[in-house]
């Protein structure tokens, strides 16, 4: 009887934590919805919104709504380009090479070093044969080459940096079926190299719905692996600019694996602060959950990410102090710090001119 009462008490506590996090996200989102929508980055990043210039609209109200909606999306795109975020990288239609060197240290643990290399090569001759369909050859030293849905299994969440096992690699062909500001559809097939070689194939779909003050971004990636079976990764982003230098994003992402029972998901809040055209701060709060064997909170993380070009226009420096509260340590405060150098090759000049504007 005492055991049953204690179990019910624990279940109520787990449900209470989940409800508190959901209510907190809802309150913050409603609060930001009351603020006026302010289009941003046009003056900060030097980009001009040519899509809304000199176009005839049925009414002034429709014109204003369309202009603000597009600028909200351009604000998100500008930030994702600057941070080389997976939302941008996964849909970039150019040849590129990316090298990441990361060092992470956490209280009570030793120094962890990580190296990740990814490469994408456009195939113009094959594109001519396929006519409207663009094709790219991709390679990554990470077994999951394009983790465009930024969530991982619970045992990888604590470090929050790419695991670069020398034995892991991924080679594939990506076929771009449709690419626009509001929709992106692609199919990818390849081979995953690791402890065992297996082939995979699957589509990725992204749709953006634009509202007066907000933009809603839905992303779904489904893959079939010859050994592991099906997996599904999805993400919902709800975002808007707050001021000319602040941008808010609420994100919920989840993962399902055929070989595993349960569902893994994260609740995230982001606040971006543009200090200057070449320096940006990203504040992130994350709560990670799993539904197996019980629906429970696994960890809470708060981190601040500072990013700027370093010495060269194609080299970026990230400084990331963080505070982690993992279940395995009874949610005790665990400080950590990550330093990352990111080398980006491929159309860098045009990319940096967009970021720095007239300063380039």
pLDDT in tens, 67-79: 666 677 678 888 8
| Region of 346 on the Ramachandran plot (φ > 0 left; ψ -120 to 50 alpha; else beta) | left
What does the pLDDT read at residue 359? 43
What does the pLDDT read at residue 221? 95
pLDDT at 168 over 60: yes
- Cite the beta strand spans of 141-228 per DSSP E: 169-179, 183-193, 198-210, 215-225
What does the pLDDT read at residue 154? 43
Q: How far apart are CA 250 and CA 329, in angstroms?
A: 27
Angle in degrees, CA 339, 342, 344, rounded to 5: 170
The answer to whether the CB of 82 falls within 8 A of the CB of 355 is yes
Three-state secondary structure along 78-147? HHHHHCCCHHHHCCCCCCEEEEEEEEEEECCCCCEEEEEEEEEEECHHHHHHHCCCEEEEEEECCCCCCC
pLDDT at 107 over 70: yes
Q: Which domains does the chain have, with CATH numbers?
A: 14-359 (2.40.160.40)
Among the residue ranges 169-183, 244-258, 320-334, the one predicted with the least confidence is 169-183
Residue 155 host element (H or E): helix 154-157
Q: How far apart are CA 137 and CA 191, in angstroms?
A: 12
Calculate what percentage of the chain has a pLDDT beyond 90: 39
| Segment 243-269 mean pLDDT | 92
Long-range contacts for 308-313 (Cβ within 8 Å, ≥24 apart)? 308/278, 308/279, 308/280, 309/278, 309/352, 310/341, 313/348, 313/349, 313/352, 313/360
What does the pLDDT read at residue 86? 80
CB-based contacts of 311, cutoff 8 Å, min separation 6? none
Confidence of residue 333 (pLDDT cuts 50, 70, 90): very high
Higher local confidence (pLDDT), 2 or 23 = 23
Confidence of residue 14 (pLDDT cuts 50, 70, 90): low
Q: How far apart are CA 247 and CA 146, in angstroms?
A: 25
Q: How far apart are CA 213 and CA 179, in angstroms?
A: 24
Among the residue ranges 131-140, 182-191, 333-342, the one predicted with the least confidence is 131-140
pLDDT at 267 over 60: yes
As a whole number of angstroms, the longest Cα–Cα distance in the chain is 74
Task: Copy the structure tokens of residue 262.
Answer: 């349960």
The answer to whether the CB of 115 falls within 8 A of the CB of 164 is yes
What does the pLDDT read at residue 55? 43
Q: How far apart are CA 97 and CA 84, in angstroms?
A: 12
Confidence of residue 317 (pLDDT cuts 50, 70, 90): very high
| Segment 168-181 mean pLDDT | 86
What does the pLDDT read at residue 31? 55
Q: How far apart are CA 265 and CA 233, in angstroms?
A: 10
């Amino acid at each position: 009887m005492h055991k049953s009462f204690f179990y019910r008490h624990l279940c109520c506590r787990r449900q209470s934590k989940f409800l508190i996090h959901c209510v907190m996200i809802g309150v913050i989102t409603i609060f930001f919805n009351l603020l006026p929508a302010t289009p941003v980055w046009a003056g900060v990043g030097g980009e001009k919104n040519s899509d809304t210039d000199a176009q005839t609209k049925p009414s002034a109200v429709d014109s204003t709504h369309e202009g603000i909606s597009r600028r909200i999306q351009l604000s998100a795109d500008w930030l994702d380009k600057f941070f080389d975020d997976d939302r941008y990288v996964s849909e970039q239609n150019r040849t590129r090479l990316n090298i990441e060197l990361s060092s992470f240290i956490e209280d009570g643990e030793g120094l962890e070093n990580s190296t990740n290399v990814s490469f994408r090569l456009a195939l113009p001759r094959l594109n001519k044969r396929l006519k409207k369909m663009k094709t790219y050859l991709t390679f990554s030293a990470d077994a999951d080459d394009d983790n465009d849905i930024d969530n991982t299994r619970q045992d990888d969440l604590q470090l929050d940096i790419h695991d670069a096992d020398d034995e892991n690699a991924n080679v594939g062909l990506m076929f771009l079926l449709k690419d626009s500001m509001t929709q992106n559809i692609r199919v990818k097939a390849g081979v995953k190299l690791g402890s065992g070689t297996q082939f995979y194939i699957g589509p990725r779909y992204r749709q953006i719905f634009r509202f007066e003050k907000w933009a809603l971004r839905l992303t779904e990636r489904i893959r079939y692996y010859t050994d592991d079976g099906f997996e599904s990764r999805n993400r919902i982003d709800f975002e808007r600019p707050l001021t000319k230098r602040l941008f808010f994003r609420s994100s919920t992402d989840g993962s399902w694996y055929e070989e595993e029972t349960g569902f893994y998901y994260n609740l995230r809040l982001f606040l971006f602060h543009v200090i200057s055209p070449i320096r940006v701060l990203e504040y992130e709060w994350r709560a990670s959950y799993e539904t197996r064997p019980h629906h429970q909170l696994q960890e809470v993380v708060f981190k601040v990410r500072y990013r700027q070009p370093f010495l060269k226009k194609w080299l970026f420096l990230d400084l990331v102090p963080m505070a982690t509260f993992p279940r395995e340590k009874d949610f005790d405060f665990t400080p950590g710090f990550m330093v990352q150098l990111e080398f980006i090759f491929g159309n860098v000049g045009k990319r940096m001119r967009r970021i720095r504007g007239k300063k380039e």
